[in-house]
Amino acid sequence: MAEMAQKSHVARLVPMAHAADVQRAADFYKLLGFEVRGNLRDHAGQLQWVYLACAQAELMLARASGTVPASEQAVLFYLYSPDLIAVREHLLTNGIEVSEITYPHYMPKGEIRLEDRDGYVLLIGQSD
């Protein structure tokens, strides 16, 4: 019975989001330290899917058939950084709009908010 339970559980979750332009989205996530670990292109060479990873964070992006308005997206991505101030400054230097650092009760060490190129909300919290 224990062997069956071990085989019937999920061992990993990698979120996959739709992007209007997968290359543009991948370039944005590279600013956060993600590296391309896998990709698929169509016959014309256009990026259709990409697997990104950075330390323990993983994300897949797939080409959307249409635009998904930010107000209709029911997901946000929560990331952690050991140096939130440096991440914020890096993003600002690269022309990315990012909030001031806030200190909500669930993240007293600090958190920033930004949107990726497709309007997905990213919250980045200061890790230990």
Summarize pLDDT for 70-125 with one digit per residue, the tens. Answer: 677 778 899 999 999 999 999 999 999 999 999 999 999 999 999 999 888 999 99
Question: pLDDT tens digits for 2-24?
Answer: 555 556 676 788 999 999 999 99
**Residue 94: Cβ within 10 Å count:** 10
Task: Report the predicted TM-score, pTM, of the whole model to 2 decimal places.
Answer: 0.82
User: Which residues is 77 bridged to in the sheet?
Assistant: 122
Terminal alpha carbon distance of the chain: 39
**Selecting from 2.102.10.10, 3.40.50.620, 3.40.50.720, 3.10.180.10, what CATH number does the domain 2-126 have?**
3.10.180.10
Token pair of 91 as six digits: 């993003």
Average pLDDT over residues 42-68: 92
Give yes or no for residue 1 having a pLDDT over 60. no
CB neighbour list of residue 111: distance below 8 Å, 6 or more residues apart: 84, 101, 102, 103, 104, 123, 124, 125, 126
